[in-house]
Homo-oligomer: A and B are copies of this chain.
């Protein structure tokens, strides 16, 4: 039996908090279950990575490319006023990057979204349409 590298799987908390959009070359692209804001999450499929600096150099470069793809797609789909891009990870240790579409007048504006107001459920058809639009925008 050959030595296997550890397999990657999505952290259970991210599994609970998001729905799948698709896999980019490095990262799994997810949508947050909080409908207060159009909110994407990129999770590099690298076992054990907790910080951006835990990634290899080529993966960090790729992550910037995927942040750019996700940001442009989200901006195109939502016509938002501002993008918020953040790797926080104080609660969930698996490296994940938030890409959030902000609008003047959204429930947290101008503050960051975390903890600002209680999460709100998606309307299923709106969520399905949002994911379909995103998949097209991002080329999935």
Binding site for B on A (CB under 8 A): 50-53, 60-61, 63-64, 67-68, 71-72, 75, 82-91, 102, 109-112, 114-115
Contacts and interface: CB of A to CB of B under 8 A. Distances in A.
Contacts of A63: 64
A53 B71 contact: yes
Contacts of A109: 90
B89 A75 contact: no
Contacts of A90: 82, 84, 102, 109-112
Given A71-B53, A115-B111, A87 B89 contact: no
Given A91-B110, A110-B91, A111-B114, A68 B84 contact: no
A95 B115 CA distance: 24
B87 A87 contact: no
7 contacts: A52-B85, A82-B90, A84-B89, A84-B90, A85-B87, A86-B88, A112-B115
A51 B83 CA distance: 7
B110 A112 contact: no
Contacts of A91: 110
Contacts of A102: 90
A30 to B, nearest CB: 18
B89 A86 contact: no
